[in-house]
Amino acid sequence: MKLQNKVVLVTGAASGYKNGGPSIGSEIAIKFASEGAKVVVVDILEKMGKRTVDTIRKKGGTAIFIKADVSNTDEVKDAIEITKKEFDKLHCLVNCAASYKGDIFKNIVETPEEDWNRILDVNLNGYFRFAKYAIPLILKSGGGTIVNISSSAAFKVLKNFSIYPVTKAAINSLTRTIAIDFSPEIRANTVCPGFVRIANSEGDRSSAEIEQWIGDISKSYPLKRVCTVEEIANVVLFLASDDSSYINGECIIVDGGRIISDTHEF
Ligand SMILES: NC(=O)c1ccc[n+]([C@@H]2O[C@H](COP(=O)([O-])OP(=O)(O)OC[C@H]3O[C@@H](n4cnc5c(N)ncnc54)[C@H](O)[C@@H]3O)[C@@H](O)[C@H]2O)c1
C-alpha cells in the first residue's frame, strides 16, 4: 500500500460521461483509494462525482464527495475546511479539473475575451486556488506532495488552439514555484499527458465512429495506440508517493514518445 493512511484531494475527479466512463481524475481517485488513501473527490458534477465515491466504497475504500467549482474561492476554501473537519489532515493534492467549454478552438484574435478569461480562471487559477488553500493544511499535516495534471500541449502547440496550451505551460511554471517555495516539506510535480482516451471527449459519436477516430489518432503515436487513464494514474501515484522521493519540480511527459518524434522523413 503506497498511500496507507494518507489523505488525498483530487479535483476534477467525477466519473466521466456516458454511464460513468473513465476520466483521468476519477481513475486517480480510485487508484489512490486502492493504495490505502482516504480520498476527497472534488468536482462541479455532483452525480458523477458521487459515482466515483460509490466505486471507491464498493471496493472497500474511504472517500467523500465535495461539490466545488475551482473558479470560486469560497467553494475552494470550504472544500479544504470540510477535508480538515472530516479527516483532520491533507497529505496530497492532485489538481486535475479543467474545462473545455466555450469556443476554445480558435487563435487569439478570434477567441472572445470572456472565453479566454473563463478558461484561464478554471484551468490555471483553479490549480493556483486549490494549491494556495491546501498548502497550509499539508504543511500542518507534516508535509506531502502536489501533482498537477498539465499536458504535452504545454510544449507543442496545435493550430487554432491557443488558450489551452497557455494554461498548461503556466501550470508547469506554477508547479516549479511551489516546489521551490515549499521544499523540503512539499514536493510538487506535473504530469503532461498526450492524448488520453476518456469518456468526455467521445461525446455523442457512435461506437464505430469512436473506434475510427481513436484509430486515426493512434497512427500518429509511436506506440500506435493512445494512452489509457490507468497509465496516467500510475505515474501520478508514483509522483504522489515516496517512490519518487527525490523528484521535485519536474514535468513528466506521458505521451508514448510522440512529442520527440517527427513526421518529417529523409
Ligand atoms: N484526455 C486527454 O487527452 C488529456 C490530455 C492531456 C491533459 N489532460 C488533462 O487531464 C485533466 C483531466 O481531464 P480529462 O481528460 O479526464 O477530462 P474530463 O472532462 O473527463 O475531466 C475534467 C473534470 O473537471 C471537472 N471540472 C470542469 N470544470 C470544473 C470546475 N470549474 N470546478 C470543478 N471541476 C471542474 C469536470 O466536471 C470533469 O469531471 C485535465 O487537466 C486535462 O487538461 C487530458
Phi-psi region of 120 (alpha: psi -120 to 50; beta: other; left: phi over 0): alpha
In tens, the pLDDT along 36-55 reads: 999 999 999 999 999 999 99
Q: For residue 122, how far is the Cα from the chain centroid?
A: 12
Cβ of 70 below 6 Å from ligand 1:
yes
Spell out a b/e string for 14-37, using b for 16 or more CB atoms within 10 Å of the CB, else e: bbbbeebbbbbbbbbbbbbbbbeb
Residue 35 lies in a domain: yes
The closest residue, in CA terms, to atom 11 on ligand 1 is 96
Would you state the pLDDT for residue 73?
98
In tens, the pLDDT along 179-224 reads: 999 999 999 999 999 999 998 777 778 889 999 999 999 999 999 9
Domain limits for position 140: 7-254
How much distance in Å is there from the Cα of 87 to the middle of ligand 1? 25
Residue 103 lies in a domain: yes
Cell of 103: 469556443
Residue 2 lies in a domain: no
Ligand 1 pocket test: pick from 9, 74, 95, 99 the residue with the most ligand atoms within 8 Å of its Cβ: 99
In tens, the pLDDT along 96-152 reads: 999 987 778 999 999 999 999 999 999 999 999 999 999 999 999 999 999 999 999
In tens, the pLDDT along 215-254 reads: 999 999 999 999 999 999 999 999 999 999 999 999 999 9
Amino acid, res. 98: A
- Total domains in the fold of the chain: 1
Residue 110 lies in a domain: yes
Would you state the pLDDT for residue 130?
99
Residue 264 lies in a domain: no
Please state whether the peptide bond connecting residue 184 to the residue before it is cis, i.e. omega within 30 degrees of 0. yes
Q: Does the annotation mark 133 as catalytic?
A: no
Report H helices in 13-124: 17-20, 24-34, 46-58, 73-87, 113-119
Three-state DSSP class for residue 39: strand
Residue 259 lies in a domain: no
What is the value of pTM for the model shown? 0.97
What is the C-alpha separation between 50 and 82, in angstroms, rounded? 16
Residue 40 lies in a domain: yes
The catalytic residue among 100, 127, 164, 221 is: 164
Domain containing 59 — which CATH number?
3.40.50.720
Residue 92 lies in a domain: yes
